[in-house]
Structure 1
Amino acid sequence: MRFHPDKLLLQQYAQGDVDATQGLALAVHLESCPECHQQVVRFERQLGAKLEHQAMKPSDDLPSEDMLSQILTLPQKSREELLVPSKPHQVTVNSRRFTLPKALYPFRDRIGDWRNYGGKVFSAVIDLEEEARVNLMYMAPGVSVPQHTHKGYESTLVLHGGFSDEDGHYRAGDFLLKDASVKHSPTTPQDEDCLCLSVLTEPMLFTQGVARIFNMFGKGLYP
């Protein structure tokens, strides 16, 4: 694993200052990256220490007795319930089966049907009811996606296998953040496929070949 979110993005994640879609991609990355996970823990501890030194808020901001009573009477999960592991969830695409990261388990019922692009590229939308588009993307071995850029931001997290573009080769766990300043053409090796989690704030804009027809009327294309 060579490509990670920058420290500012991790700090924003620890402070809760990222949107739901970006937060999901980061949570999946943290699940497989001890280095970034520890960095987030450090940021959270720093934030906690800062809060401890702040003055107490006025008493009228504190929970009322009725509210406290309601909280204390809420049903509590037993230790046994908390220790029960989540059942692994798998997706099947192009006759291949993949186990999803645990951070995606709560959204397994929000994964749409796989759409096929020419028999080599597949996508399935994860409906988070957010403006940004979240997809699972699968590329078969030996695939090259036409060169494109982005009207907004594209976050990509490699879940399985790997792919290359003009900036390097990416393996499982790697996190990429691309913007309008980048043009790239993701390509899988001849002997390896790739499954990714993709977050797009705006459609892709193709910059080469006949794929530019999708840019008509300035709309671009969501995979």
Structure 2
Amino acid sequence: MSYHPDFSLLEAYAQGSIDAIHGVSVATHLEMCPHCRQQTRQLEEHCGDALLNLEMTSSQASAAPTADAHWQQMLEQIFASDAPARPKLTRAKAPVVSVNGRQIAVPRALKRFVSADAKWRSYGGKVFSLALHSDDNTHMNLMYISAGVSIPQHTHLGTESTLVLHGGFKDEDDHYDAGDFILRDGSVHHSPQTAQDQDCLCLTVLTEPMLFTRGVARLFNMFGKGLYP
């Protein structure tokens, strides 16, 4: 695992300012990546400390002495009381998707978006797409690419985040494995390819359609401004 969400994206996630769809994508990566989980936990703790300090400063500026005494009394009662028994937590089973005759387990963060009877869209029996959620122009999909397949070269009218869930692929820049989180924009033209012996399942989030830049696939650009998976 070599590619991760950048710091600003993790910070937005920790602060709760990230949009819902990209939040799901980041949460899915965090489930797969201990390094980013630790970094996000530290960011959340920092945000919590900052909020607590702000609340304490505000309270001290406005509270009367009697209110301070009442607050101290309440804290003493809380610490003196017995802590409630913590419920036993059960680890949810990872959901499984069925595509192209394969059964592939995906992170639990996607559990509410996938179902056993999901209807995949097929592109020539080689590439399969499953729409998970859409919000305005932002689309979140699962994308399955069979072994030995090359996606026509394309760019993006907006941004595309790709999280590899299973297998791997390569493009003109590098090779990507399970857990890698890649962010692309209109400055990048690439053609993802799978190895002859390895398929790939990805979680993709697009803010605008794909725009094909070479070959017959450019005909898809005639339909509107491009193509969503």
Q: Would the TM-score normalized by the shorter structure come out above 0.5? A: yes
Output the CA distance in 2 between the equivalents of 1:11 and 1:192: 34
Query: How much has 1:124 moved relative to structure 2?
Result: 0.5
Which of the residues 162, 165, 177 maps onto 1:171?
177
Partner of 1:154: 160
Q: What SS does structure 1 have at the residue aligned with 2:58?
A: coil
Which of the residues 84, 93, 104 maps onto 2:110?
104
Give yes or no for contact 2:156–2:210 (8 Å, CA) kept in 1.
yes
**Structure 1, unaligned runs of 5 or more:** 60-77
Partner of 1:88: 94
Output the CA distance in 1 between the equivalents of 2:43 and 2:182: 21
- The aligned amino acid for 1:79 is P
Query: TM-score scaled by structure 1?
Result: 0.85
Partner of 1:197: 203
Q: What SS does structure 2 have at the residue aligned with 1:5?
A: coil
Query: How much has 1:129 moved relative to structure 2?
Result: 4.8
Partner of 1:51: 51
Output the CA distance in 1 between the equivalents of 2:136 and 2:20: 8
Query: TM-score scaled by structure 2?
Result: 0.83
- The aligned amino acid for 1:138 is Y
Partner of 1:71: none
Give yes or no for contact 2:98–2:116 (8 Å, CA) kept in 1.
no
- The aligned amino acid for 1:27 is A
Query: How much has 1:145 moved relative to structure 2?
Result: 0.2
Query: How much has 1:56 moved relative to structure 2?
Result: 3.0
- The aligned amino acid for 1:30 is L
Deviation larger for 181-190 or 8-17: 8-17
Query: How much has 1:105 moved relative to structure 2?
Result: 1.0
Partner of 1:142: 148
**Structure 2, unaligned runs of 5 or more:** 64-85
Query: How much has 1:91 moved relative to structure 2?
Result: 0.9
Partner of 1:22: 22
Q: What SS does structure 2 have at the residue aligned with 1:56?
A: helix
- The aligned amino acid for 1:211 is A
Query: How much has 1:199 moved relative to structure 2?
Result: 0.5
- The aligned amino acid for 1:35 is H
Query: How much has 1:130 moved relative to structure 2?
Result: 5.2
- Runs of 4+ aligned structure 1 residues displaced above 6 Å come to none
Give yes or no for contact 1:110–1:128 (8 Å, CA) kept in 2.
no
Give yes or no for contact 2:95–2:105 (8 Å, CA) kept in 1.
yes
Output the CA distance in 2 between the equivalents of 1:110 and 1:133: 21
Give yes or no for contact 1:148–1:207 (8 Å, CA) kept in 2.
yes
